[in-house]
Structure 1
Amino acid sequence: MSDGPREPADSAEITPAALKELLDRGAPLDLIDVREPHEWELVRIPGARLVPQGAWLDGSALATLRPDRRPVFYCRSGVRTRAVLAVAHEAGFTDAVHLAGGVVAWTAQIDPGPPGP
């Protein structure tokens, strides 16, 4: 038995291109930015909602997840989302994924704009 959330498997990542394809198809996703509000104000992925990492780590944000939508988490570069993803998986949202490379990869590969904070 572990003392905390397990580290998610690498297969729990989604590439920016794969995410764009799902978004373009209208797939039932819950796109969640786990950065802080000041980062959100600078750059974000269209259609996302902001729920900072702290709310996931203390468990208070879990009630906002909808079972009919696949959670997709992102942060600046993909580091913070790994901890959030582990929390979601432990709570039973085993289909949850995180965006490989975060908003930095998204802006570099899909939607060029100002660099993410």
Structure 2
Amino acid sequence: MSLFGRSPRGGNTGTAVLLDIREPHEWQAGHAPGAVHLPLSALAGGDGLPAAARSRPVVVICRSGNRSRRAAELLWDRGVEAVDVIGGMRDWAGAGLPVVDARGGHGTVA
């Protein structure tokens, strides 16, 4: 089973950055190691991408996949190559992939 959805225009994740668009309390409880954080509320409000995500393809993740799909569409509208993770952090963790909390310890999906 693939966790990655198709972007609105195809998408290539070769040198991509993982962008977690969940709210701060969700991020702090658990996120993928190496992910970059920008809440969907900030992205939808017009905030730009964090420096680590600029000029790179973006793989967007949320809790279940709904917000990440919306965020990928917003990013494409801004000229950013983006795909979303189907099933989000729930399926990420369910697939046995690592989840860390804000302190770097074992995290949970909130």
Band of TM-score, shorter chain: 0.7 to 0.9
Higher helix share: 1
Does 2:54 correspond to 1:66?
yes
Identity %: 33
Match of 1:91 among 78, 87, 102: 78
Task: List, as ranges, runs of 4+ consecutive aligned residues in structure 1 with deviation greater than 3 Å.
Answer: 62-65, 112-115
The amino acid across from 1:35 in the alignment is R
Does 2:99 correspond to 1:104?
no
Aligned Cα root-mean-square deviation (Å): 2.3
Please, which runs of 5 or more residues in structure 1 have no aligned partner?
Answer: 1-9, 14-21
How many residue pairs are counted as aligned between the two chains?
A: 94
Please, which runs of 5 or more residues in structure 2 have no aligned partner?
Answer: 100-106
* TM-score (normalised: structure 1): 0.69
Rounded Cα–Cα distance in structure 2 between residues aligned with 1:50 and 1:103: 13
* TM-score (normalised: structure 2): 0.73
Does 2:7 correspond to 1:12?
yes
Partner of 1:116: 109
Deviations 1:65-95 (A, max 9, x none): 412x2101100000111111111011112x3
Rounded Cα–Cα distance in structure 2 between residues aligned with 1:106 and 1:31: 12
Deviations 1:16-50 (A, max 9, x none): xxxxxx7xxxx522211100111111110011011
